[in-house]
Structure 1
Amino acid sequence: MQLAQQILLMAAKEFTHILRDRRTVFLILLAPLITFGLFAYLYDGQRVTEMNLVIVDDDRSPLSREIINMYGQSELFRYQGLVNTTEEAEQRIQTGETDVAVIIPENLNRDVKEGKSTQVLTLIDGTNMLISNGATKGTSTVLQTVSAGVTLRMMEANGIVPAKAKAMLQPINATIRVGYNPAYNYRVFLLFGLVATVLQQVMLTTMSGAFCREKERGTNMILVASRMPVTAVVLGKALPYFVICLFNCFLMLVLANQLTEISILGAGFDLFMISLAFTVSLVGIALIVSNLVPDELRANQIILLIATPSFLVSGFTWPLSKMPAPLVAFSNCLPLTHYLAAFRIVGVKGAPLSAVGYQLLVLFLLGVAGILGSMMLWRRQRETGKLVNLE
């Protein structure tokens, strides 16, 4: 009970610091709202290769194997193998394991031999515009190439029969179904990524000054003299920013759901857990930086070095699976990468929370490690007198 009171006392003190600084109030509350409104209005209305692809082969004929080989040889796709059912393919797209699924219908080979036009269904993940556009073009090219080869063989074998000429010109047609964003709405692709990027930048910038301000103003001496537990100091400092960041996350979701045509499919509890994990990770990173550097200016410089690259390598501006391995490794150390991946899978596609267990684990680990590290740093600085012996 005493520890809880000390945490709340420290949190009240930090809220007072926040409210006294108009710049901080503006950044932490108004900047995400302004950014959301700007990009929601603005988006009202290099080539991707090796998109992950699975195939459902219900025909299992020489023609279906020819189609599979063509997809495997295309530089646009990375063939992951066969799956048994359409439902399994849809689930793999929903959980982000694959980008494209091709459904080869039963009796494809027989219908083509009989001169009948037939359809090959392609399922595409529409949450990433670059992938959906590239996959649409790529699958059409593959099937047109196979279809042209089939036509030539039929002409050579049977001659040109006028009654069958129309069907022979295009015996295999592509039917494409883009999931989760069939209208190619740019707001679905851009809005949440942009707002999450700005929210990360704002929260890291403001939180990184939490302990720096105490150092610059000399008020650390009060904390040292009070002998308040390290846990109460660190958690009390973090609590106001944690509450504000979590509030901003949900405010963005509510505004998107109410003021735009974007459909958020994820359950409320699942979205809460994703936002909670993202917030914890931001708090942990900011507290570590705030304890390591002596002033707010240098803290902001370090945060800039962290936040700016994350915009480029988080999988938002370019699919993560298409990046070089060193960049992917760096990206996996950033909270924005895992938050955007989890939000797309759960929030946009409606997958269960279990589908993003890895992302949640990484976010919580980043946050907890940062908070525990901050406690160790602050305790060491207090014991060595660095909190009061200011330069």
Structure 2
Amino acid sequence: MRARRLLAIVIKELRQLRRDRLTFAMIVGIPVMELVLFGYAINLDVRGLEAVVVDQADTARSRELVAQLEATQVITLERRAATPQAVDELLRRGVVDVGLVLPVDFEARLERGDRPPVQLIVDGADQAVQAAARQLRHFPVPDAAGWTARVEPVEVVNYYNPERRAPINTVPGLIGVILTMTLVLFTAIALVRERENGNLEMLIATPLSRWELTLGKVLPFVAIGLVQVTVVLGLGRWLFGVPLRGSPADLYLASLVFILASLSLGIFLSTLARSQFQAMQMAIFTFLPQILLSGFMFPFAGMPRLAQWLAELLPLTHFLRLVRGIMLRDAGLLELWPAVAALAAFTAILLGLAVSRMHKRLD
């Protein structure tokens, strides 16, 4: 008798699960997404770092060395510069990850073997770039056999994080991760909660427009997001000594744009969900690709092109470029305008979709 009752409950839950299409889809969707992301998109081998070369020697052996370094596929030499100062500027703006400098006396250094003939300038704000520098540190220089016992062939200059401390890389990224996890979840359940509590009909009866109703649900969370940014910055500085080299105003403006992008994603999800539980499921479903593909946990340069294109559609990818550029490289907001433009476009599109769907539901 007990077994029959238990079986009835099990059958009832299975039927309920079959009717709940979102939960049923996530049972299959989450394992598939994790398998694809970890097995295909996530690659710990750093490849294709954007690099600029300064070949002041311009000899046959210097050109041979540049070709051999590019053949490793660790770096992609798509830019050339005339002076090391140009490399500094490109690194600060986040245009390149690595600068390769071959000095005028490249040939003389090869012959004497008393000084490294190659200088590798890397963006130490990115742990993936540091890993690539370790791979290239002992790269064999053409026709230099025997001299490398005295000095290393490649001198690595680590900008922005010379001590290679992990918190310098992770704490700025944690600002974006924390904002993503909290704000998307908060706003994803906003409209659903109003509907379940019976307050949505009252809101419909007010003279509020669709845009006013949407923004009214979003704006209170902006202040919450800015408070979270302040808390993480303060704790990061106090506990780990993470610097803020750029303008605080630029950082807060960048955070504001990202907060609006995260809130727009959350409010859009709330128009799709029919219950608070579904809204939470959808929010969690968006966390995984953002955290894994944005470059926070795994090297962005090591991902296949398809995964990188997908990552460009995610707001956290662009915010990581902003927050690391401002906090660690002293880059200005105007210098990082592509990331700001991407977040602004994401916000406009998602808010527009949310308002349009809210109009259909209210009608």
TM band (smaller chain): 0.7 to 0.9
Per the alignment, residue 24 of structure 2 pairs with none
Does residue 317 of the first structure (1) align with residue 297 of the second (2)?
A: yes
Residue 118 of structure 1 pairs with residue 115 of structure 2: yes
CA distance in 2, matches of 1:261, 1:210: 37
Once the two structures are overlaid, the 10-residue window that deviates more, 265-274 or 102-111, is 102-111
C-alpha distance after superposition, 1:305-361 (max 9, x if no partner): 111221111111222232112212221121111111111122211111122211111
> Per-residue CA shift, 1:89-144, capped at 9, x if unaligned?
1122222222221211222213544x362333221111122321221331x222xx
Partners of 2:247 and 2:327 in 1: how far apart? 8
Shift in alpha-carbon separation, 1:54–1:130, aligned structure 2, 3 A? same
Q: Specify the alignment match of 2:83 in structure 1.
A: 85
Aligned CA RMSD, in angstroms, stands at 2.1
SS at match of 1:132: helix
| Partner of residue 146, structure 1 | 141
CA 1:373–1:106: 2 relative to 1, 3 Å: same
Q: Contact 2:173–2:323 at 8 Å: present in 1 too?
A: no
Taking the aligned partners of 2:149 and 2:103, their CA distance within structure 1 comes to 20
For the structure 1 residues 75 and 329, does the alpha-carbon distance in structure 2 shift closer, same or farther, using more than 3 Å as the test? closer
Matched residues in 1 for 2:149 and 2:207: separation?
Answer: 85
**Aligned counterpart, 2:243:** 263
- Equivalents in 1 of 2:228, 2:149: separation in Å? 56
For the pair 1:300 / 2:295, whether they are aligned, the reply is no
Instruction: State how far apart, in whole Å, the 2-side matches of 1:55 and 1:136 are.
Output: 18
For 1:286 and 1:252, the matched residues in 2 are separated by 22
CA contact (8 A) 2:173 2:296 kept: yes
**What SS does the aligned partner of 2:335 have?**
helix
Q: Deviations over 1:281-328 (max 9, x none)?
A: 011111111122221111111111111221111111222232112212
Q: Is the 8 A contact 1:193 1:316 kept in 2?
A: yes
In structure 2, how many angstroms separate the alpha carbons of the residues matched to 1:268 and 1:198? 19
Does the 8 Å contact 1:151/1:170 carry over to 2? Answer: no
1:386 equivalent in structure 2: none
What is aligned with 1:56? 54
Question: How far apart, CA to CA, are the structure 2 residues paired with 1:269 and 1:124?
Answer: 27
Aligned to 1:102: 100
Q: 1:219 to 1:55 in 2, by over 3 A?
A: same
Shift of 1:275: 0.3
Secondary structure at the residue paired with 1:355?
coil
Q: Which residue of 1 aligns with 2:129?
A: 131
Identity of aligned residues (%): 21
Taking a change above 3 Å as real, the CA distance of residues 103 and 201 of structure 1, as seen in their structure-2 partners, is same
Q: Identify which of 169, 183, 186 aligns with 1:189.
A: 169
- Given that 2:322 and 2:339 are in contact with CA atoms closer than 8 Å, whether structure 1 keeps it comes out as yes
Matches within 5 A, 1:1-391: 46-113=44-111, 115=112, 117-119=114-116, 120-138=118-136, 140-142=137-139, 145-146=140-141, 149-151=143-145, 170=150, 173-383=153-363
1-structure distance, mates of 2:340, 2:297: 22
**Bigger Rg, which one:** 1
Segments of 5+ residues of structure 1 without an aligned counterpart are: 1-45, 153-166, 384-391
| CA shift in 2, pair 1:172/1:242, >3 Å | closer
TM-score, L = length of structure 1 = 0.76
Does the 8 Å CA contact 1:112/1:171 hold for their aligned counterparts? no
Distance, in Å, in 1 between the alignment partners of 2:268 and 2:109 is 65
Aligned partners of 1:203 and 1:168: how far apart in 2? Answer: 53
Shift of 1:169: 5.3
Q: Amino acid of the residue matched to residue 86 of structure 1?
A: P
Relative to structure 1, the CA distance from residue 111 to residue 133 in structure 2 (aligned partners, 3 Å threshold; closer, same or farther) is closer
Task: Give the secondary structure class of the aligned counterpart of 1:98.
Answer: coil
- Asked if 2 retains the 8 angstrom alpha-carbon contact of 1:345 and 1:355, the reply is no
User: 1:97 is matched by which residue type in structure 2?
Assistant: V
- Evaluate the alpha carbon distance shift between residue 103 and residue 294 of structure 1 in structure 2; reply closer, same or farther with a 3 A threshold: same
Q: Displacement, 1:243?
A: 1.5
Distance (Å, rounded) in 2 between the aligned partners of 1:179 and 1:317: 21
Cα distance in 1, alignment partners of residues 259 and 93 from structure 2:
23
Q: How many aligned positions are there? A: 319
* Cα distance change of structure 1 residues 81 and 238 upon mapping to structure 2, 3 Å threshold: closer
| Structure 1 residue 201 displacement after superposition | 1.1
Question: Structure 2: which 5+ residue stretches go unaligned?
Answer: 1-43
**1:33-88 deviation line (CA, Å, top 9, x unaligned):** xxxxxxxxxxxxx3323322222112222332232222122232222243111011
Counterpart for residue 4 of structure 2: none
Taking a change above 3 Å as real, the CA distance of residues 203 and 81 of structure 1, as seen in their structure-2 partners, is closer
